[in-house]
Amino acid sequence: MDVLCDSSFLINLVSRPTTCQDKVEYEVGPLRFVVPSNVIIELAAMKIRVGPKRSKMAETAITIANSNFEVRSIGDLDCNVDDLLIEYATRNKCAVATVDRVLLSRLIANDVLVITFTNDKMIVANHYRP
């Protein structure tokens, strides 16, 4: 299953150790992480406008994304990244990985499978919605 990664997920991935990807894959099948080119642009902009610690995390996230994940163009480069993720995931029946609470809620409201972290463990967020 294709899983679109947003910038918050990538930053979290590089900033702390995570576990339980195998449990998520058992639930939903093999995960193929895809980073939209818009997210790379968002991380590059973040690298410039934030402090040194977050700038380094953004730089590391870009490096990890380019070397370990597929980077794919999924739409207009000047679109809002969250809107683009929701639209693409809905249209193409893929999951989205995020730790952004607002985006997470919007994705669940649009019946998109959401992968997130809780206590440094990867989980399927849709199983925990109210």
| pLDDT, tens only, 5-29 | 999 999 998 888 787 888 888 888 9
**Number of folded domains that form the chain:** 1
At a CB cut-off of 8 Å and minimum separation 6, what does 126 contact?
Answer: 108, 113, 114
Top-confidence residue, 40 or 120: 40
Interval 58-79 mean pLDDT: 90
Residue 6 three-state SS = coil
Comparing C-alpha atoms, which of 99, 94, 79 is closest to residue 37?
79
- Domain encompassing residue 24: 2-128
**pLDDT value of position 128:** 59
Residue 59 confidence (pLDDT) above 70: yes
Q: For position 18, which CATH number holds? A: 3.40.50.1010
> What's the pTM value of the predicted model, to 2 decimals?
0.90
